[in-house]
A = this chain, B = another copy of it.
């Protein structure tokens, strides 16, 4: 089996273009990972996700451990086979969603205990169990279990969670062993405090991971704080390891974070907005609910690489959204995932050509221009 590795191909300022080798094929970076929460990217067949340009998707340990269960997926041949996605998969550790979705959670040194949002059963998740679950799923990239604190928070709370996350990082590393060619990422915590973030980085690098995620962002802080933390943390991370900004974000967030040295992203926005009638396009977001589209025969974007964005009229997409037809959510999710992938491909090409700054300026100018004027 191919062993996980990462190779930097080009840099342009802080922006980086590279390639990950995984047991399930290559992943070009910077990479955006569509989210396959419950072993499916919502509203999209796996071949549609692939055709949209994705090399890798994210699976949610929290959801999958509760339903259908990690042991069941392992018995069925692993998550790749289960969801018919033969390409790379990263799984989160479950920690973030334990905090956001479950009730009656209790954290102690050993583990987090929580009540399942599905059937009320009490469930334990330790660093060792998080690593075990992700091995059962067969993730190409596993994440350490961490404790994520919503911002704003008191410095003492942020510090306590950061230090617990470091101790859990060590336990995850030990439990992971050599991982059989798969990768384990540590997660930098420390909230909006530069000192705590720096301490987290140094300790994680000492432990040693295949990549480092920046966690605890996109949890209520302002966009300025997000970017400042990324600016502080990214340069402190080893250049030959991957950098993953968790839970981010809008197309603009992606440009800004790649400009600051981030390699990987995940976010529900493309599929969630697609289900709510909003398309991402070269000219910014477009709400298909808006009545101005009702009689518009033009496609969403005739220059898109995505056939759905070129084929269907705005009037038809508007109709599907108004009529609450599944096909509306399906097509807009496809269009959005494809737009995100097109944006990442553009960034990679621009970095390789040494023109990332211009590419970012052009993309932002096009978004600022806004959607096509009415006919």
Cβ-neighbour of A326 out of B297, B311, B326 (below 8 A): B326
Known pairs A42-B326, A326-B330, A327-B45; A75 contacts B319 (CB<8 A): no
Across the interface, do A319 and B84 meet the contact criterion of CB distance under 8 Å?
no
Contacts of A44 in B (CB 8 A): 327
Shortest CB–CB separation between residue A276 and chain B, in angstroms? 14
Residue interface bits A33-67, CB-to-B below 8 A is 1, else 0: 00000111011110000000000000000000001
Shortest CB–CB separation between residue A71 and chain B, in angstroms? 10
Across the interface, do B315 and A82 meet the contact criterion of CB distance under 8 Å?
yes
Known pairs A294-B68, A316-B83, A319-B67; A38 contacts B325 (CB<8 A): yes
Across the interface, do B319 and A43 meet the contact criterion of CB distance under 8 Å?
no
Across the interface, do A76 and B295 meet the contact criterion of CB distance under 8 Å?
yes
A349 CB–B CB distance under 8 Å: no
A320 CB–B CB distance under 8 Å: yes
Q: In the complex, A295 Cα to B68 Cα: how many Å?
A: 9
Can you list 19 A-B pairs with a CB-CB distance of less than 8 A?
A: A38-B320, A39-B320, A40-B320, A40-B327, A42-B327, A43-B326, A43-B327, A44-B327, A45-B327, A68-B294, A68-B319, A68-B322, A76-B295, A76-B297, A82-B315, A82-B319, A83-B316, A84-B316, A330-B330
Q: In the complex, A83 Cα to B312 Cα: how many Å?
A: 8
Main secondary structure of the interface of A (DSSP, over half): loop
Q: Which residue of the partner chain B has the closest CB to A323?
A: B38
Q: Which residue of the partner chain B has the closest CB to A68?
A: B319
Contacts of A316 in B (CB 8 A): 39, 76, 82-84
Shortest CB–CB separation between residue A57 and chain B, in angstroms? 13
Contacts of A84 in B (CB 8 A): 311-312, 316
Contacts of A13 in B (CB 8 A): none
A130 CB–B CB distance under 8 Å: no
Contacts of A39 in B (CB 8 A): 316, 319-320
A77 CB–B CB distance under 8 Å: yes
Residue interface bits A147-173, CB-to-B below 8 A is 1, else 0: 000000000000000000000000000
A281 CB–B CB distance under 8 Å: no
Across the interface, do A72 and B327 meet the contact criterion of CB distance under 8 Å?
no
A329 CB–B CB distance under 8 Å: yes
Shortest CB–CB separation between residue A84 and chain B, in angstroms? 6
Shortest CB–CB separation between residue A149 and chain B, in angstroms? 29
Given contacts A67-B322, A82-B315, A83-B316, 19 further A-B contacts (CB under 8 A): A38-B319, A38-B320, A38-B323, A39-B316, A40-B320, A42-B326, A43-B326, A44-B327, A45-B327, A45-B330, A68-B318, A72-B294, A76-B297, A82-B316, A84-B311, A84-B312, A84-B316, A326-B329, A326-B330
Residue interface bits A313-341, CB-to-B below 8 A is 1, else 0: 10110111011011101110000000000
Shortest CB–CB separation between residue A321 and chain B, in angstroms? 11
Across the interface, do A77 and B297 meet the contact criterion of CB distance under 8 Å?
yes
Known pairs A45-B327, A325-B38; A313 contacts B82 (CB<8 A): yes
Residues of chain A in range 89-134 having any CB-CB distance to chain B below 8 Å: none
Q: In the complex, A329 Cα to B83 Cα: how many Å?
A: 15
Q: In the complex, A295 Cα to B77 Cα: how many Å?
A: 11
Q: In the complex, A311 Cα to B297 Cα: how many Å?
A: 37
Contacts of A45 in B (CB 8 A): 327, 330-331
Q: Which residue of the partner chain B has the closest CB to A43?
A: B326
Contacts of A325 in B (CB 8 A): 38, 40, 42
Across the interface, do B330 and A72 meet the contact criterion of CB distance under 8 Å?
no
Q: Which residue of the partner chain B has the closest CB to A44?
A: B327
Contacts of A294 in B (CB 8 A): 68, 72
